[in-house]
Amino acid sequence: MAERRLEGRVALVTGASRGIGRAVALRLAAEGAAVAVAYGSSEAAAREVTEEAAAHGVTTALLGADLGDPAAAGALVARTAEALGRVDVLVNNAGLTRDQLAVRMSDEDWSQVLAVDLTAAFSLCRAALRGMLRSRWGRIVNVSSVAGVVGNPGQANYSAAKAGLIGLTKALAREVGGRGITVNAVAPGFVETDMTAALPATVIERALAVVPAGRLGTAAEVAAGVAFLASPEAAYVNGHVLHVDGGLA
């Protein structure tokens, strides 16, 4: 990459062992940022990401965390600061799904998705903002979804969590925008990941039929949007939701 726009910065990326999180961690490393690769269960895959990121000449940290644990988020920010010095860029990408029609959805499936996809993101933002406010510089990028914009049948929990991320993004942007900190979101559509690879071909075909671009997106395309929002060039972009969905929403 010709320009390393994040040279000297430190980024924490959650859910970074695969898919969009992996692509984001590697893109930020290519931009010059030291990267904390946070993962939930796939330690081997996350270790590979740290090794690939380190090949860009940056420092990396491998950090496991169960973000379903209310105490884990704040601890993850503290561990990143201990390993890499601070957190300048936070990318809240970690998430899970427990799909079911609303009338059949259990309280546990609702609570688990909200805990990881929304509550943990808030806790991470709260913890990271303390250091960002002191340094008067920071970038937070929340990975929402087209499901949080238009809804998705069978995903009332996931859609609610991702919509909540958008509300969180806009509220925080107003709270901290005067201190050199921006808070934005990306809302991916149908993207080629392990999650979409597991879907039946008929589901993919129906999805492609309503995407104007006529194809699935790539994790790298989402990562490019995140990298822009984390960059100095995006200093006047705040409270924005960047749709990376091929024109779907």
* 175 closest CA partner among 214, 140, 227, 221: 140
Alpha-carbon dihedral sign for residues 3, 182, 169, 211: negative
The one catalytic residue in 158, 184, 189, 225 is 158
Contact 59, 84 (CB under 8 A): yes
* 216 closest CA partner among 227, 207, 229, 203: 207
d(CA 210, CA 226) in angstroms, rounded, equals: 24
Contact 152, 159 (CB under 8 A): yes
Annotation marks residue 158 as catalytic: yes
> Residue 6 has which token pair?
């994040």
The conformation of residue 248, written as its DSSP 8-state character, comes to -
* 30 closest CA partner among 56, 61, 64: 56
Which residues lie closer than 8 Å to 6 by C-beta, 6 or more apart?
A: 28, 31, 32, 33, 89, 227, 230, 231
Alpha-carbon dihedral sign for residues 76, 240, 210, 118: positive
The catalytic residue positions are 158
